[in-house]
Structure 1
Amino acid sequence: MPRVVPPVADERTALTAYLAHQRRALRVTAYGLTEEQARMAASAGELSIGGLIKHAARCEGFWTDLVLQQQRGTQRKADESNEPDEPDESGADEFRLAPDETLAAVLAAYAEAAERTDAVIAGIPDLGQAVPVPQGAPWVPAEVKEWSIRWVLLHLIEETARHGGHADVIRESIDGATFDPLLAAAEAWPDPWVQPWEPVAPSVG
């Protein structure tokens, strides 16, 4: 796949293509990581790459449910809390992998959430269709009663890109890997114009 979003012909294609691109950028930060590395809080904060991908999957599920006006169990208070230490209402830690969770599992959950979002959006002809605002949420202006599908897509792009930036910093702190070499390795670019990332061989005593 190309490094950048291909040319787009209309608004819907632009929004969905840029969302897919940001998802891809977040996912590639996990390429080649061990389970231990996926849990590492390698920056000054407490975020981990595995935790960020877990959060991104839940975020997409939250917004897709909102578009469909559904709930799955106890609805979360917010999808983009800036406080990694604050658990969601179910008691699960939103930004960290639980002991029984794996990187492969959260990547699969993220892919499933993305596929569901894409299917739901594809079935809605009008990007201006109203999406009801959760009343009483502290992150919503009191005067706002509805968003649009267009707004939701823009917000998902924003949210995914923000956490992708977090993951970039964390990944570089773990092993020095950056976006282009990781993408070249993950997607086996033919004749890449950058040197693909390779795992560092363990030192021999």
Structure 2
Amino acid sequence: MPVFVDPRPDERGQLLAFLAGQCASLRATIAGLDAAQLRARPTGSAMQLGALVKHVALDERRWVVAAVGGRPEGLWPVEDPRAEWTLEEGDDVASLGALLDAVGEETERVVAAVEDLGAPCPMPGVGHWSVRWVLLHLLEENARHCGHADLLREQLDGATAAQLGS
């Protein structure tokens, strides 16, 4: 995993590259874990590493598809905030990685279709946020959660995303 995201020639590409970098960090933190480790609570927090990764992916999907893409059906408002923090029976490293990939691809498609990053989000009630604001908000949230993920992984086996991704 590179220390720095490669520079891109435009703002849109750079924002998407930074989001992809956060995704790569999350993917690294769950690499090689078994089901018990994904569900473990290795700190005083109730947070599970697998559930954290699931939350990040579903949160990004909600913001991008609903707010930026203007398709809130089933995504906004959040009916049960705890649901995306709950691991299902089949949730494992492979399925969580596939979810991260699918969301990243969806983010790229939706953002590519936006003409102006400064445009207001098309979803009713959120026009005070621009597409740029949503992408920056996601970077802030995802980076915060990548830090959480790194600490949880380190508590599980001493590894960090930087070590695992290199």
Deviation sequence 1:104-140 (CA, Å, 0-9, x none): 22221121111101111112121111115764xxxxx
Amino acid at match of 2:145: H
Amino acid at match of 2:103: A
Assess if the C-alpha contact under 8 Å between 2:117 and 2:131 holds in 1: yes
> What does 1:32-47 correspond to in 2, within 5 Å?
32-47=32-47
> What does 1:39-58 correspond to in 2, within 5 Å?
39-58=39-58
TM-score normalised by structure 1 residue count: 0.73
Quote the residue 1:69 is aligned against: 70
User: Take 2:150 and 2:139, find their aligned partners in 1: how far apart are those partners?
Assistant: 16
Greater RCO between the two (CA within 8 Å, min separation 6)?
2
User: Take 1:165 and 1:59, find their aligned partners in 2: how far apart are those partners?
Assistant: 16
Give the C-alpha shift of residue 145 in structure 1.
4.6
Judged with a 3 Å threshold, the aligned counterparts in structure 2 of structure 1 residues 179 and 90 are, in CA distance, closer, same or farther, namely: closer
TM-score normalised by structure 2 residue count: 0.88
How many percent of aligned residue pairs carry the same amino acid? Answer: 41
> What does 1:1-205 correspond to in 2, within 5 Å?
2-65=2-65, 66-73=67-74, 75-77=76-78, 89-90=79-80, 93-132=83-122, 135=125, 145-184=127-166
User: Take 1:118 and 1:154, find their aligned partners in 2: how far apart are those partners?
Assistant: 14
User: Take 2:80 and 2:130, find their aligned partners in 1: how far apart are those partners?
Assistant: 28
SS in 2 for 1:71: coil
User: Take 1:91 and 1:150, find their aligned partners in 2: how far apart are those partners?
Assistant: 25
Task: After superposing the two structures, state which structure 1 stretch, 8-17 or 44-53, moved more.
Answer: 8-17
Assess if the C-alpha contact under 8 Å between 1:5 and 1:21 holds in 2: yes
Structure 1 or 2, whichever has the larger Rg, is 1
Judged with a 3 Å threshold, the aligned counterparts in structure 2 of structure 1 residues 24 and 40 are, in CA distance, closer, same or farther, namely: same
Assess if the C-alpha contact under 8 Å between 1:47 and 1:96 holds in 2: no
Assess if the C-alpha contact under 8 Å between 1:39 and 1:51 holds in 2: yes
User: Take 2:81 and 2:62, find their aligned partners in 1: how far apart are those partners?
Assistant: 16
User: Take 2:55 and 2:124, find their aligned partners in 1: how far apart are those partners?
Assistant: 19
Judged with a 3 Å threshold, the aligned counterparts in structure 2 of structure 1 residues 102 and 180 are, in CA distance, closer, same or farther, namely: closer
**Gap runs ≥5 in structure 1:** 78-88, 136-143, 185-205
